[in-house]
Amino acid sequence: MVRFKNRYALCEVIVPGQENSSINFTKSKLYRAIKQSIISNHGDYGIGALDQSLRVIYINTGTRIVLIRAERKYFHMVTSAIIFIRKIGLHDVIFKTLHVGGSIRQCFKFLIKYHQKSFPSMYQSCQTEDDKIKVLETIIDACDTSTSVKALMDKIS
Q: What tens digit of pLDDT does each residue of 102-125 get? A: 999 999 889 888 887 877 777 777
Q: How confident is the prediction for the chain on average, in pLDDT? A: 84
pLDDT for the residue 146:
56
- Each residue's pLDDT tens digit, 128-144: 888 777 777 777 776 66
- Each residue's pLDDT tens digit, 28-41: 999 999 999 999 99
pLDDT for the residue 11:
94
DSSP code per residue over 83-130: TT--EETTEE-EEEEEEEESSHHHHHHHHHHHHHHHHHHHHHT--SHH
**Residue 70 amino acid letter:** A
pLDDT for the residue 152:
45
3-state secondary structure of 55: strand
- C-beta of residue 69 within 8 angstroms of C-beta of residue 59: no
Smallest CA-to-CA distance from 50 within 33, 37, 38 is with: 38
- Each residue's pLDDT tens digit, 42-95: 999 999 999 899 999 999 887 889 999 999 999 999 999 999 999 988 888 999
Q: How far apart are CA 78 and CA 153, in angstroms?
A: 22
pLDDT for the residue 125:
75
Q: How far apart are CA 140 and CA 110, in angstroms?
A: 15
